[in-house]
Structure 1
Amino acid sequence: MNLQPDCFRILVVDDTPRNIQLIGTLLKQEGYQINVAGNGRQALDIVAHSAPDLILLDVMMPELDGFETCRRLKQDAATRDIPIIFLTARSEADDIVHGFELGAVDYVAKPFNPPELLSRVHTHLALKAAREKLQELSLKLSKYLPPQVYESIFSGKTEARIESYSRDLTVLFSDIAGFTERTEKAAPAS
């Protein structure tokens, strides 16, 4: 699993140019590739053309705020698995809970601590890479496991149950007189 920063593209969504410059510089110094959007609508347009590996999303923006942007991304099957970290000045408990309820993987309040933000970004990118590797493995395993076993492992249900059954079986051992002798003398069929 390659976790080199240059393998990951991060979308920074913020309406304040100074914030974009600060966050962009921080991420670029670590080797991450970045795209930027000034509001939620621009972010949705960028994601529609090229999905990033992670999104850093402000809440308070014109046109389309971060909460609505997150809700739309999580409703779309093509974008629902992109990790979203809210990076915002809104730090009330209700806002944080709402962000997680919408599907964000993390919530960081501004002003932020740069090493902490980088650590969270790296952690969520590593988790995303591990999930993708697990999905790849599960697809390979699906070819070799019986459907019940596959379902019990990858359904996510903690109480998965594999039912078994038995059937009556009769085995007949028989010998045909002189069969071995005849086959040893016979020539192979051509």
Structure 2
Amino acid sequence: MSAHILTVDDSASIRLTTRVALTGAGFRVTEAVDGLDGLSKAQAGQFDMIVTDLNMPNMNGLAMIEALRRSPAHAGVPIIFLTTESDAEMKTRAKAAGATGWITKPFDPEQLVKIARKVLGR
């Protein structure tokens, strides 16, 4: 059975790009439009990995990760930031919150697939 990945981004074009790349590699994808939507979907479903933007309305990716990491059910789920942010301090904060990795936009969809395969051991 293929891994199920939750993608969280307020940009429809980024959601499309990530969905096409990941489904093309055989992964199942569920999309969320912001951190609040992502948190709700993550809590309602079971995901093998989460890919999230940082800067979004309603709830940013950092707050979403912090909320997810408080739940034992999500403690070990890999979470990758896919964001325009490249600030070292923000990366440190993200790692402290529980982020597994960081990809800077614009990104190569193949890089995302490689990271997903590596993180998921596939």
Is the pair's TM-score, using the shorter chain for normalization, greater than 0.5? yes
| Count of residue pairs the alignment pairs up | 122
Kept in 1, the 8 Å contact 2:21–2:110? The answer is no
2 CA distance for matches of 1:7 and 1:118? 13
The letter for the 2-side match of 1:117 is: L
The unaligned stretches of length 5 or more in structure 1 are 1-5, 130-190
Q: Which residue of 2 aligns with 1:65?
A: 60
Partner residue of 2:81 out of 77, 80, 86: 86
Describe the SS at the equivalent of 2:7.
strand
Within 5 Å, give how 1:37-116 maps onto structure 2: 37-116=32-111
Q: TM-score, normalised by structure 1?
A: 0.62
Q: Percent identity?
A: 28
Cα deviations by residue, 1:50-72 (Å, 9 ceiling, x for unpaired):
12100001000000000000001
Q: TM-score, normalised by structure 2?
A: 0.95
| Greater than 2 Å deviation, 4+ residue runs | none
Report which structure shows greater RCO (CA 8 Å, sep ≥6).
2
Structure number with greater Rg is 1
* TM-fit CA distance, 1:116: 1.7
Aligned CA-pair RMSD: 1.2
2 CA distance for matches of 1:88 and 1:13? 11
1:35 aligns with 2:30: yes
1 CA distance for matches of 2:53 and 2:104? 10
2 CA distance for matches of 1:56 and 1:34? 10
Kept in 1, the 8 Å contact 2:7–2:51? The answer is yes
* TM-fit CA distance, 1:49: 1.4
Q: Which residue of 2 aligns with 1:22?
A: 17
* TM-fit CA distance, 1:45: 1.1
Q: Which residue of 2 aligns with 1:118?
A: 113
Kept in 1, the 8 Å contact 2:8–2:51? The answer is yes
The letter for the 1-side match of 2:54 is: V
2 CA distance for matches of 1:17 and 1:115? 19
* TM-fit CA distance, 1:47: 1.2
The unaligned stretches of length 5 or more in structure 2 are none
